Structure 1
Amino acid sequence: MKRNENIVPISREHHATLLFCWKLRKGVKAEVQPERMNRYINWFWKHHLEHHFQSEEQLLFLDVEDEMVNRGLNEHRLIIAKINEINVRTEEKSYPLYLELADLIDDHTRFEERQLFPYLENKLSVEELQKIGEILHGEEHNALEDYDDEFWAKEQIQK
């Protein structure tokens, strides 16, 4: 989907979030040890998702009275709550939570790309979008992943 050049850095990160969901699903299917998956979830949160959410909330999700923006904010809260729930649950209850997290993030990412971002591109002025773009292009927004335990890879799967 064609994206306004000013919000492309955030949009590009969505590929990484969808890949994250795929990796969680692969890990569940292979019954990878929950401790390995928990480490990855927390690593991904700290190295990608946390900054991604902050950027969206500080630059794009400013009109909290707007129904579409409010949905985006609420979905961020649900995702954070699910990550917190995963961190306090026992391992035998983890797999369903991983799948719930993957579904939440997958659905949220697709909502942003298909509905919220096009909506905001039309709602925000050219000047507002340019100001957002200056900030985003001045920050580091990459989807590169250098995680050391590729549990989702066939040769790395160990129960």
Structure 2
Amino acid sequence: MASSRPIKRNEHIMPLSREHHMGLLFCWKLRQGVKREIAPDRIRKYINYFWDTHLKQHFEEEENILFNQVKHKFCDEAIVQHQQITDMIQRINTAGKEVPGIYTSLAALIDQHIRFEERELFPYLESALSAKSLSNIGIQLKNMHAVTPVDNYQDEFWVKV
């Protein structure tokens, strides 16, 4: 039986793990929107809000601060996944009409990506990087995350009324 205990994360990369939790909530909200048959345009607007205020910066931080510390297939895979997510969001915005299933596909892709990073990539980096490297990463992330990010999108379509 698999353990349901939370994964213990190195304190220096905790800001990224906290954002992952927020990303999982984002996926849940997308799924709720689809389940409740919310107008696709409302969901798309939320996707763009989340991309612009959270996800894009999160990807840049991971790639520029964390993944460039060591050459490894897990880092390469995470970057490929970032691009797949970015491409799907662009597709959502450039499609002339709604693509069936694309919002649940995006939620599944992001969910899978977060779980890959938390279960495979981050544990690898925690063991591969020196304490000094992790500390330097932590200092950079702390400076960037002086304020805890919040998802304060006004149109809470995922909430039952």
Which TM bucket (shorter chain)?
over 0.9
Matches for 1:45-64 after TM superposition, within 5 Å: 45-62=51-68
Shift of 1:65: 4.3
Provide structure 1 residue ranges, at least 5 long, that are not aligned to the other structure. Answer: none
Aligned to 1:132: 137
User: What is the letter of the counterpart of residue 124 of structure 2?
Assistant: Y
Which residue of 14, 18, 24 maps to 2:20?
14
User: What is the letter of the counterpart of residue 130 of structure 2?
Assistant: S
Shift of 1:144: 1.3
CA RMSD of aligned residues (A): 1.3
1:144 aligns with 2:145: no
* Contact 1:4–1:121 (CA under 8 A) maintained in structure 2: yes
Describe the SS at the equivalent of 2:57.
Answer: helix
Shift of 1:63: 5.5
Distance 2:97 2:154 in 1: 21
Distance 1:112 1:92 in 2: 30
Which residue of 90, 110, 113 maps to 2:115?
110
Aligned to 2:95: 89
* Contact 1:24–1:98 (CA under 8 A) maintained in structure 2: yes
Describe the SS at the equivalent of 1:62.
Answer: helix
Describe the SS at the equivalent of 1:154.
Answer: coil
Identical aligned pairs, as a percentage?
Answer: 49
Give TM-score, length-normalised by structure 1. Answer: 0.92
Matched positions, count? 154
Provide structure 2 residue ranges, at least 5 long, that are not aligned to the other structure. Answer: 1-6
User: What is the letter of the counterpart of residue 8 of structure 2?
Assistant: K
Shift of 1:92: 3.8
Structure 1 segments (4+ residues) deviating >3 Å:
none
Aligned to 1:36: 42
User: What is the letter of the counterpart of residue 25 of structure 2?
Assistant: L
* Contact 1:35–1:91 (CA under 8 A) maintained in structure 2: no
